[in-house]
Amino acid sequence: MMLTTPAAAADKAAGWNEGGGEQDEALHLTPNLENGIEVYEVCAACHLYEGWGQPDGTFPQLAGQHRHVLIKQLADIRALNRDNPTMYPFALPESIGGPQSIADVTAYIATLPMNPEPGRGPGTDLEHGKQLYKDNCVRCHGEHGEGVEEKYYPRIQGQHYNYLMRQFAWIRDGKRRNANPDMVKQIQEFSDKDMAAVLDYVSRQQPPADKLGVVGWENPDFK
């Protein structure tokens, strides 16, 4: 069995998001929002026209996510760097187009107002969750889960609790191959109780008012 040396682990952590390929190409293209709307119609079958996903966590909320994050994740799925067999066929160039379409659709998704009523946790251990978040998550995801676009740290505020739970468990347990190794290391000792508490707290972090839609909003671009 090949053992991972500290130097190799450090190299992996430094290179988890080296980019290249479609990721870099899409980042440097000028988005066409009209085409983004057309491309997004493919995505809407699962993520809904509003980009709000499903509270049961089947599909995440995409609306309002940082464009850099969206580009990276879509490019990773297409390059088989992130396992998502449900989405993979819909993300292929023959379904949505090439790097220009990635640039277009991600720019469009980033403009969508966010769901003001995402799926939240049970609210039973919030103080523990708040402390865990302060001790482990603030450095990358920010005080309120706002993330950092330039560093590809996602906005996790306003995300559905059940989706957060699934992704956190996969990252902690080594099942999400494009996860930031720094995060894997940071959360590897979290128990299931810790995970539920911190994500319950995260699910209650409200995005800024200018990012939120109104209850019952319907996307006028698809009327």
Mind listing the domains of the chain with CATH numbers? 14-115 (1.10.760.10), 126-211 (1.10.760.10)
- What contacts 147, CB < 8 A, 6 or more positions away? 66, 69, 140, 141, 153, 154, 155, 156
Task: Check the annotation: does 114 bind a ligand.
Answer: no
118: pLDDT strictly greater than 80: yes
Task: Check the annotation: does 47 bind a ligand.
Answer: yes
Task: Check the annotation: does 2 bind a ligand.
Answer: no
Q: Across the strands, what pairs with 148? A: 153
Task: Check the annotation: does 87 bind a ligand.
Answer: yes
Per residue in 143-164, pLDDT tens? 999 999 999 999 999 999 999 9
pLDDT of residue 41: 97
Per residue in 47-70, pLDDT tens? 999 999 999 999 999 999 999 999
Task: Check the annotation: does 183 bind a ligand.
Answer: no
Which tops the pLDDT comparison, 191 or 12?
191
Q: Across the strands, what pairs with 153? A: 148
DSSP single-letter state for residue 209: G
Per residue in 1-37, pLDDT tens? 334 344 444 444 445 676 678 999 999 999 999 999 9
> What mean pLDDT comes out for the span 172-186?
94
